Structure 1
Amino acid sequence: MSATLFLAQLLNGLQYGVLLFLLAAGLTLVFGIMSFVNLAHGSLYMIGAYIGALAYGASGSFLVALGAAMAAALAIGLLLEKTIVARLYRRDHLDHVLATFGLVMFFNELVRVVWGPQPLFVQVPEVLEGTVDLFGFTYPAYRFAIIGVGLVVAVGSWLLIHKTRVGMLIRAGAQNPQLVGALGVNIGLLNAMLFGVGAMLAGVAGAMAGPVLSVQSGMGEPVLITTLVVIVIGGIGSVSGAFYAALIVGVVDTLGRVFLPLLLRQIAERSVADAAGPALASMSVYLLMAAVLALRPQGLFPAHRG
């Protein structure tokens, strides 16, 4: 095991963790703060990826593609909140799950009808096609850019929640929406804004993932499951907890997929090791979640209430 391989995979894990955080940050706002279970969050990620891919192909500018993905996800998120989600806030979580699961199936079929079943492949932006040299170690510039975007979103989310009047209202509304509403705050508008911001962050994640992954129908469901694991590990309702947990999950999953097969080759045949290693790596994330739930049910980095 070389130091270069370990460092490369560690950075890959951080990059994956940052993508998870872009999804987890928006879902934390909706699920942890608004107490709304939105299974369609992965579909907004998928829509962001498709719109970003089409806008990039039409304009040749990745910034335009990123802006288009954000705008489309925001618009669809606000439309869903106005027409469907707002009617479910006071309903049971089971109603949330059933309604948003229906939206998942709707958006998956809509994508197949509009763009077909074949995946789309997005080129890395020309300005980020090269590599970055750090003390003799090279790493793809685009993956560094993903890490940078995630850090900017993390800082922006923390400032929004903890250093602005809107963030104060968000935290107060999560604790006692009736009291905040009685003070003259438009809770409906606040909830719509939160849902829209969460949708927009999902769109950003989808657009950023396009050049790394294939863009296809159903791409939102697997990553949504991992995102829910991130939220549980970090602490429901904690944006900073989602950030730390996303990095932990990203690193654990990536290093496990690379190094577990290498370790298993010492005691088993290569074919067996190569098949079992990634499966065990996937299991390790859920085992980590189970350990956290057993030892610290509120999560590793819970939100401080009050």
Structure 2
Amino acid sequence: MDFTTFLIQILNSLQYGLLLFLVASGLTLVFGIMGIINLAHGSFYMVGAYLAFALTSLTGNLMLSIALGIPLAFVFGALLEWLLFAHLYKRDHLEQVLLTYGLILIFEELRSLAVGDDVHGVDIPALFSASIPLSDTLSYPVYRILISVVCLVLAGALWWLMQRTRLGMMIRAGSHDRDMVQALGIDINLLYRTVFALGVVLAALAGMLAAPISSVYPGMGSSVLIISFVIVVIGGIGSVWGALVAALLIGFADTFGKVLLPDLAGLAVYLVMAVVLLWRPEGIFKKG
């Protein structure tokens, strides 16, 4: 492998890992803070991708579609929490799993009825459709770099929200002692609704960003869900920083595994998980 090819794989690993972080960060917030095992989280990624496809078909501009899709995803998440998930906080995990698995089936059926089962493409905006030359024959797409930059900015914004704002302080307090936070006069139900809606937005945004490079197709949320749970377990349940580090580890393991050991590439991610859990069973970082 020459240096240019190696550099391209590094960039691919970063882009893939950071995109996975967006999905996994929403999952770790909902799982770690609210105690909800949400098997439907991958469906929110799919919803985001199809939302990008539908809105781009109407507006002709992906960036405008993303700007419209973010508030729509937030409202969708808030309504879903109010209608369904708010009733699960004191239920056991089996009931959470059954409900959220049912949501996967519902979302897939609604998707099939609304847009069919064909694979769809989303055009990259003309402004970001160029590529940066790396050698005489190889180049790297500007749009993939844009995805990495956006994800890094969002990672910093999420850290700032959780660690430096009053809302973040309330969220962290609510994850430790729901009853005490409620006794202090904070509307814990509204707080949890906000957290859940934020998790939906992060997953949907990842789907919207990924739509032009991965296409939009049925069942696309399933593989993302599995890998997101792996990231949450490796990083530490409830830890945003842990999700970031774990997502980058998985991004590198998956990308270089496919390049160096294609026959064993499917094992690379789970091998990383096994090694990390043998070293730190609670994950790389604790909740925080």
Cα distance, 1:290 vs. partner?
Answer: 1.5
1:272 matched to which residue of 2?
none
- Give the TM-score of the pair, scaled to structure 1: 0.91
CA deviation vs aligned residue, 1:4-27 (integer Å, no higher than 9, x gap) = 111101111111101100101111
Residue 46 of structure 1: aligned partner:
46
Query: Cα offset for 1:98?
Result: 0.5
What residue in structure 1 maps to residue 214 of structure 2? 213
What displacement does 1:214 show? Answer: 1.7
Shift in Å, 1:87: 0.5
Cα distance change of structure 1 residues 45 and 88 upon mapping to structure 2, 3 Å threshold: same
Structure 2 matches for 1:138-287, cutoff 5 A?
138-261=139-262, 276=263, 280-287=264-271
Partner Cα distance (1:31, 1:37) in 2: 6
Contact 1:73 1:202 in 2 (8 A): no
For residue 20 of structure 1, what is the aligned residue in structure 2?
A: 20
SS at the partner of 1:132?
A: strand
Secondary structure of residue in 2 paired with 1:215: coil
Residue 33 of structure 1: how far off its partner (Å): 1.3
Q: Is the 8 A contact 1:18 1:247 kept in 2?
A: yes
SS in 2 for 1:76: helix
CA-CA distance at 1:72 after TM superposition? 2.7
Go from structure 1 to structure 2 and tell me whether the alpha carbon gap of 1:134 and 1:155 turns closer, same or farther (over 3 Å shift): farther
Cα deviation 1:67-97 (Å, max 9, x = unaligned): 2322232222111101100001110111111
1:117 is aligned with what amino acid?
D
CA-CA distance at 1:133 after TM superposition: 5.0
Partners of 1:226 and 1:37 lie apart in 2 by: 15
| Structure 1, gaps ≥5 residues long | 262-275
Report matched runs for 1:53-92 at 5 Å: 53-92=53-92
Q: Which residue of 1 aligns with 2:99?
A: 99
> Which position in structure 1 is the counterpart of 2:124?
124
Amino acid at match of 2:283: G
Structure 1 CA distance, aligned partners of 2:128 and 2:97? Answer: 39
- Mean Cα deviation higher: 66-75 or 16-25: 66-75
Give the distance between the partners of 1:7 and 1:247, measured in 2 at CA. Answer: 16
Alignment partners' CA distance in 1, 2:56 and 2:252: 29
Determine the C-alpha separation between the residues in 1 that align with 2:135 and 2:232: 35
Separation of aligned partners in 1, 2:216 and 2:93: 30
Cα drift, residue 135 of structure 1: 9.4
SS in 1 for 2:261: helix
Moved more, 245-254 or 132-141: 132-141
| Secondary structure of the corresponding residue to residue 139 of structure 1 | strand
Q: 2-side partners of 1:222 and 1:134: how far apart?
A: 31
Give ranges in structure 2 of 5+ residues lacking alignment: none
What CA distance in whole angstroms lies between the structure 1 residues aligned with 2:286 and 2:141?
Answer: 34
Q: Which moves more between the two structures, 146-155 or 55-64?
A: 55-64
Deviation at residue 303 of structure 1 after TM alignment: 2.8
Aligned AA (2:201): M
How much has 1:257 moved relative to structure 2?
A: 0.4
1:229-277 per-residue CA deviation (whole Å, 9 max, x = no partner) reads 011111111001101110110111011101214xxxxxxxxxxxxxx2x
Residues 90-116 of structure 1, C-alpha deviation per residue, up to 9 Å, x if partnerless? Answer: 101111110000000000011011100
Q: CA RMSD in A?
A: 1.4
Aligned residue pairs, count: 287
Q: Is the 8 A contact 2:122 2:211 kept in 1?
A: yes
Shift of 1:191: 0.1
Q: After TM superposition, where is structure 1 displaced by more than 2 Å over at least 4 residues in a row?
A: 132-138, 301-304
C-alpha contact (below 8 Å) 1:52/1:68 kept by paired residues: no
